[in-house]
């Protein structure tokens, strides 16, 4: 290694948006059992920490009104009274007083009437502050419908897991086939000083700061995927639906001139437009090999059965044999199950889809 080189750390490998969120957490001042004079504080409990309060505290500090607050870990009611906002401790849930605990008797709050998972402090903070956090963190002005969709997707795809784990709610029913030991909640629990490690209050506070950084990074990854990857793809998919009748009079073929995560949205958009089961095939460009793909659509998200197979009389055929049998130039292959086919040209791929209707 030359003198101007250094070994990469794991932190170096994180994208910028992840680093930014983690840095905000690592910059937090964390205190035990005291609110420093002249400081405003976010309060949470001391002792063993978990992913829910590590996330809820981190989320609050992404907001301008709490960004400069110190974090105070305590179970002392008098100290908690000095905090501007309290999460995961205190025995009460009251938005007006900014108390967000979920351990008290009689607490059965869920995200909305459609969700069954009881909220933890993470879910409570996301329910009340999630939209504002998204707007500020992303530095974008989303319209109301998009913002609500992102807020809900973040809960369903990230925060609800934290709620479920903290409240002891299984993600599934039935017998487990293997152990899962790499969840973010498990990784947070491993940060707490082990029984045979030297212990001090300073070590515990620093480990909690590390837990906040870990949860902040996870949050950033999920937001990035939703806002920078999936949201642009959703726009492309909606446009493809708008233009489906131009591709084929049946309106059953979607055309994508570029690759995108269309399966993430196809079933939802069908449902929103009252056309469930309508789309039979998707034709899309594959920029990795400059080919065009035809994809048969499954009956539903949870089914392997196809609504319609591609060229059922040509299953398993390739190249010249396939082009001759189908009467379509440029054919490369049709999968034996009829769910996928490839053609060298857009026109050829569209013709394969049309002949399959």
* Tens of pLDDT, residues 9-56: 666 767 777 888 888 888 999 999 999 999 999 999 999 999 999 999
| Domain boundaries defined on the chain | 10-231, 243-356
How confident is the model at residue 144, as a pLDDT? 96
How confident is the model at residue 3, as a pLDDT? 42
- Below-50 pLDDT ranges, the chain: 1-3
Q: What is the pLDDT of residues 168-189, one digit of tens each?
A: 999 888 888 899 999 999 999 9
First to last CA, the chain: 61
The model's pTM is 0.84
**Which tokens sit at 64?**
């301008």
How confident is the model at residue 1, as a pLDDT? 39
- Which residues does 84 contact at the CB level (< 8 Å), separation at least 6? 40, 41, 42, 66, 69, 98
């Amino acid at each position: 290694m030359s003198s101007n080189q250094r070994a990469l750390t794991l932190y170096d490998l994180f994208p910028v948006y992840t680093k930014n969120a983690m840095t905000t957490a690592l910059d937090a001042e964390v205190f035990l059992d005291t609110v420093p004079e002249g400081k405003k504080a976010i309060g949470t409990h001391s002792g063993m920490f978990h992913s829910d309060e590590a996330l809820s505290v981190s989320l609050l500090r992404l907001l301008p009104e709490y960004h400069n607050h110190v974090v105070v870990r305590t179970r002392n009611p008098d100290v908690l009274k000095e905090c501007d906002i309290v999460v995961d401790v205190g025995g009460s849930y009251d938005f007006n007083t900014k108390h967000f605990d979920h351990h008290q008797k009689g607490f059965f709050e869920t995200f909305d009437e459609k969700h069954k998972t009881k909220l933890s402090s993470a879910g409570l903070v996301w329910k009340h502050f999630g939209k504002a956090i998204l707007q500020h963190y992303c530095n974008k002005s989303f319209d109301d419908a998009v913002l609500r969709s992102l807020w809900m997707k973040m809960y369903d795809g990230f925060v609800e897991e934290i709620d479920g784990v903290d409240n002891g709610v299984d993600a599934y029913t039935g017998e487990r086939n293997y152990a899962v030991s790499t969840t973010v909640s498990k990784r947070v629990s491993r940060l707490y000083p082990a029984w045979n490690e030297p212990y001090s209050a300073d070590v515990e506070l620093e480990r909690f700061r590390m837990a906040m950084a870990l949860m902040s990074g996870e949050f950033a990854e999920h937001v990035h995927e939703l806002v920078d990857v999936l949201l642009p793809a959703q726009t492309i998919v909606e446009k493809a639906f708008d233009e489906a009748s131009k591709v084929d009079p049946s309106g059953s073929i979607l055309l994508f001139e570029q690759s995108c995560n269309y399966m993430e949205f196809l079933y939802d958009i069908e449902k929103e437009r009252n056309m469930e089961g309508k789309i039979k095939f998707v034709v899309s460009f594959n920029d990795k090999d400059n080919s065009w793909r035809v994809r048969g659509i499954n009956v539903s998200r949870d089914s392997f059965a196809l609504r319609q197979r591609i060229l059922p009389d040509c299953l398993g055929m390739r190249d010249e044999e396939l082009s001759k049998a189908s009467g379509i130039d440029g054919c490369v292959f049709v999968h034996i199950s009829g769910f996928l086919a490839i053609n060298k040209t857009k026109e050829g791929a569209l013709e394969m889809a049309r002949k399959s209707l």
